[in-house]
Amino acid sequence: MTMKALDIYKILPKKNCKECGDPTCLTFAMKLSQGKADPALCPYLDDNAKSVLGASTRPPIRLVKIGVGERNIVVGEEFVFFRHEKTFVHQPGILFRVEDTQPEDEIRRIVREVKNETFTRVGIDLRIDGVAIGNTSGSPEAFGKAVEIVESEADLPLVLKAASVAALDAALVHCGSYAPLIHAGDPGNVPEFAQRALKHGCPIAVRPKEFSGLAALIKQCTDAGVQDIVIDLVPADLGDFLAKSTRVRKEALARTAPEYAYPVFLETRDLGKADAGTYLGILKFASVIVTDPLSPAQKRAALTLRQNIYTDPQKPIQMTPGIYRVGNPTKDSPLLMTVNFSLTYFTLQGYLEATRIPCYLLLVDTEGLSVLTAVASGKLSEMLVRDSLKKFDVENLVSHRDLIIPGYASPLSGRIEDATGWHVLVGPRDAAEIGDYLDNLGKQ
């Protein structure tokens, strides 16, 4: 049960001592209610408060980190079932798998792809996050060698799919201090694997024979002192993963079963298809996804899907304000102004490209608000337009002084003219009509 801020406040010391890092107990209480603070930060909690808060305010899913450095993978601390309830927090790490039976140059090629290739969308670089190494040969030496090759090629988060303790040890020689994810503690090896995890400070995945064996396996880890765990649900196919992952997320949020309070691990080979498996994992709560290398098309689709699903619904992505070009516009080309809400931009840009009329797009900074919202809230104002025209030196871009504004911004048309001295043309309300609009304009 999540507690309300007011109820939490009632059991806090109310000293406003600021030792927790927050200026007031009220602020601390609000953070606790969202699972965004640790009760342990308060040195003056009485025992009752400690037990009540401990149980109810810790994040329902543990935070787990894989890898070190700037490309590490951070997952967990999710607190909703549907993204629309608030937002998903930590996007899943996606790792490409190599085998210790593959030739060295093949391994290197894949590692380089993960290291170097980025795909930029909306100003954000999207990348695959790391490499998983499979101990397909069964041999500890081969495994160790493969890990060494990977490590020599790049500093990336790793998943070690060791087939034996010896193989695991061989691998950890090369990467033990870089917090790789050990996959997996199973009923046959968990004491040893857990011990390695503890020794090296690595997170560990647990994989029971059957789903029902999860609780026992986790307990063995936590008893051994290992807390950073991810859970492999051993899915039989796509439908099975959906059902199990749904259950795990529900129970984690309801805090009804401690074995579910961990991020979910998914190996797409269990599901048969790398693309479908990766997409489903992204949609349904997987936090660590290991997949055979995806084709360029599959990779882009997966990275875009991940970006979409893990965008905070209340903080839509913004475009950088400024001038955008469609085609190769010249000094006589039309100039259109609109807001920097990414969806507005993409929609409009798509229709503009279809018209094949080269033009300039001036995106003004409405902090990501849509046209309607920006007009209604006053964020889109004649001052903003005037300042943007100046800031982006638009007067030197085009030789004419005609500015086309979105249809819903029509109430501002006169004021924009007065403030900027430009001639304002009111465009359509629906972006789909921009083609016809520009055609008609051209004919006049």
Partner 1 sequence: MTETTSSEWTGTIDQVILGATKEEGGTRSCSYRIGGESDLPLLGTVPAGIRQPLIAFELCDDLHAWPQIVRHYVGDVADDPAAWSALAGKEYGADLIRLYLTSTHKRGFSDFNAVGTTVADVLRATSLPIIIEGSNEPDIDSEVFQSCGEAGQGERLLLGTAEASRYRSIAAAALAYGHSVVAQSPIDINLAKQLNILLRETGLPHDRIVIDPYTGALGYGFEYTYSVMERIRFAALKGDSDLAMPMICSAFDSLNVKEVRDAEPDLRDDAAVQWEFAAALAAAVAGSEIVCVRHPKTIPLLKEALSALNSGVRRAGGESP
Partner 2 sequence: MIPVEAAKNQGGKALGESVKTLSGSISYEETAYHLPLAFALTGTPVHTADEARTIYAKTQDNPIIAVEAIVASRETHAAPDPQFTGFIEDAVIRKLGYSLVDGSILGLALVVGTPDNRDSVASICRELQEKFMLTFLAGDVIPALSSAGIKVGLDYRLIPLGPAPDSSIHFADILARVAMMFGGVTPGDAGRLLAYAAERAKAFVIAFPGLRDEDISFIDAFRVLGVPIIAVGEYSGEGWIQSPAQDAVRTGMDLKGIKVNVTAIPIPMACSPAFEGKSIRKEEMYVEFGGGRSPAFELLRMKNLDEVTDGKVTVVGPEIGDLKEGSAVPLAILIDVAGKNMRKDYEPVLERRIHNFVNYGEGTWHVAQRDLIWVRISKEAVEKGVKIEHVGKLLASKFRMDFPQLLDAVEVTLVTDAARVTELKKEAEAIYEERDARVRGMRDKDVDTYYSCTLCQTFAPNHVCIITPERLALCGAISWLDGKIAYEISPSGANQPVEKGKEIDALRGEFEGVNRFVKKASHGEVERCSLYSVMEVPMTCCGCFEAIALMLPEVNGIMVVNREFKGMTPSGMTFSTLAGTIGGGAQTPGFAGISKGFVLSDRFLQGDGGIERLVWMPAQLKEELGERLKKKLAERGLPDLFDKIADETNATTIDELLAVLTEKNHPALTMKSLL
Residue of the chain from 414, 421, 423, 436 that contacts partner 2 (CB under 8 A): 414
The interface mask with partner 2, positions 378-407, x = CB under 8 A, is: -----------------------------x
Q: How far is the CB of 28 from partner 2 (least distance, A)?
A: 9
> Which residues lie below 8 Å from residue 7, measured CB to CB, with a gap of 6+?
none
The interface mask with partner 1, positions 116-135, x = CB under 8 A, is: -----x--------------
Helices 25-33 & 47-57, crossing angle to 10 degrees? 40
Which parts of 232-291 interact with partner 1 (CB under 8 A)? 236-240, 242-243, 246, 250, 253-254, 271-273, 275-276, 279-280, 283-284
Q: How far is the CB of 279 from partner 1 (least distance, A)?
A: 5
Q: Is 308 or 330 the residue whose CB approaches partner 2 more closely?
A: 308
Stretches 7-15, 96-104, 165-173, 293-301: which one binds partner 2 (CB under 8 A)?
Answer: 7-15
- Selection from partner 1, partner 2, none that 200 binds (CB < 5 to 8 A by kind) is none
Q: How far is the CB of 430 from partner 2 (least distance, A)?
A: 12
Q: Which two tokens stand for residue 400?
A: 């004419």
Which parts of 24-53 interact with partner 1 (CB under 8 A)? 34-35
Which parts of 53-112 interact with partner 2 (CB under 8 A)? 84-86
The SS3 of residue 59 is coil
The interface mask with partner 1, positions 70-109, x = CB under 8 A, is: ---------xxxxxxxx-----------------------
Q: Is 242 or 397 the residue whose CB approaches partner 1 more closely?
A: 242
Question: Is cis: bond before 184, omega within 30 of 0?
Answer: yes
346 touching partner 1, by CB under 8 A: yes
Residue of the chain from 17, 19, 34, 256 that contacts partner 2 (CB under 8 A): 34
Which parts of 189-228 interact with partner 1 (CB under 8 A)? none
Which parts of 292-331 interact with partner 1 (CB under 8 A)? 295-298, 300-302, 304-305, 307-309, 311, 313
- Selection from partner 2, partner 1, none that 378 binds (CB < 5 to 8 A by kind) is none
155 touching partner 1, by CB under 8 A: no
Q: Is 29 or 160 the residue whose CB approaches partner 2 more closely?
A: 29
Helix ranges restricted to H, 3-118? 5-11, 25-33, 47-57, 104-116
Beta bridge partners of 323: 362
Helices 434-443 & 342-355, crossing angle to 10 degrees? 50
Residues 78 and 90: beta-carbon distance below 8 Å? yes
Residue of the chain from 9, 79, 193, 285 that contacts partner 2 (CB under 8 A): 9
> Which residues lie below 8 Å from residue 163, measured CB to CB, with a gap of 6+?
135, 138, 143
Q: How far is the CB of 2 from partner 2 (least distance, A)?
A: 10
Q: How far is the CB of 433 from partner 1 (least distance, A)?
A: 12
Q: Is 77 or 155 the residue whose CB approaches partner 1 more closely?
A: 77
Q: Given the rule CB under 8 A, which residues bind partner 2?
A: 4-7, 9-10, 14, 16, 22-24, 26-27, 30, 33-34, 84-86, 313-314, 407, 409-418, 424, 426, 429
Q: Given the rule CB under 8 A, which residues bind partner 1?
A: 2, 34-35, 79-86, 121, 236-240, 242-243, 246, 250, 253-254, 271-273, 275-276, 279-280, 283-284, 295-298, 300-302, 304-305, 307-309, 311, 313, 343, 346-347, 350, 353-354
